[in-house]
Amino acid sequence: MCRTVNALLASLLTLTACTSGSPSTTPATPVSPVSAAPVANDAAVVTWIDNVCGAINSSVKALADQPAIDVNDPSRIKTGLSDWLGTKVAVIDKSTADLKVLEDGPHPKSRELVTNAEEGMGTIKTVLTDTKSKLDASTDATQIIAAFTEMISKGAALEKTSADVRNKFDAAGLAAPAQKAPNCKDMELSPHAQPTP
């Protein structure tokens, strides 16, 4: 069961341009070459992207932990997993609220980029809340496994969302400002990455 959860988290953790590790190999939606012009590295943009990364990273860190359950005690697995999913949904809600106030940032595409990140968070929340609902309604171990198996089946879609979000930040020329932002030190924005249609 924990392997199943961890496999999903591997997909969830690639959601944003602020995550560490290697870029997703999932094809991303193409972006217009016009949007690829770099932005000025002024302090306002650096502060803004730092705050965006900070809002997203709070969810990334929360999603990185494993549920504290005893897999040898079937009677507590359902409750433990449900509680774990509930706390993750709450953290995503907070990240989304933190992103909302950043929509009117100094970058010309602030609203578009932040809205895209919010939508990515919404995709994760939907997966988690749907799984929690099915888990809460389950009456045996088979239904619990089925709920998590369905959650895992959505991993590819989450990876595509990750690639799309990353690609839009990349195309907006935010790699250089991100390098100056403490919350974005692990941000992977390659201005030379080419999306696959």
pLDDT reading at 88 higher than 60 = yes
Half-sphere exposure at residue 96, Cβ-oriented, CA atoms within 13 angstroms: 15
At 70 the pLDDT is 73
> What average pLDDT score do residues 13-30 get?
37
Q: Considering the domain boundaries, does residue 2 fall inside one?
A: no
Confidence class for position 41, pLDDT limits 50, 70, 90: low
User: Average pLDDT over the chain, rounded to whole?
Assistant: 74
Which helix (H) or strand (E) covers residue 164, if one does?
A: helix 155-171
Q: Considering the domain boundaries, does residue 6 fall inside one?
A: no
Confidence class for position 4, pLDDT limits 50, 70, 90: very low
Q: Considering the domain boundaries, does residue 26 fall inside one?
A: no
At 86 the pLDDT is 94
Q: How many whole angstroms separate alpha carbon 90 and alpha carbon 81? A: 14
- Boundaries of domain holding 103: 41-64+74-182
Q: Considering the domain boundaries, does residue 143 fall inside one?
A: yes
Q: Are 135 and 144 in contact (CB under 8 A)?
A: yes
Angle at CA 48, nearest 5°, toward 46 and 51?
A: 110
Q: Which residues touch 178 (CB under 8 Å, ≥6 apart)? A: 17, 18, 49, 53, 169, 184, 187, 189
- Please give the model's pTM, rounded to 2 decimal places: 0.71
At 186 the pLDDT is 55
- Nearest in space to 165 (alpha carbons), one of 117, 127, 93: 117
**Looking up tokens 């774990």, which residue turns up?**
84
| 36 backbone dihedrals φ, ψ, rounded to 5° | -80, -5
At 170 the pLDDT is 78
The domain tally of the chain equals 1
The model's pLDDT over 161-197, given as tens digits with 9 standing for 90+, comes to: 777 877 888 788 887 888 888 888 754 443 333 333 3
Q: Considering the domain boundaries, does residue 195 fall inside one?
A: no
Considering only residues 112 and 12, tell me which one the structure prediction assigns the higher pLDDT: 112
Q: What letter would DSSP give residue 22? A: S
Q: Which token pair is 181?
A: 């932002």
The model's pLDDT over 110-162, given as tens digits with 9 standing for 90+, comes to: 999 999 899 989 998 999 999 999 999 998 888 888 988 898 888 888 778 77
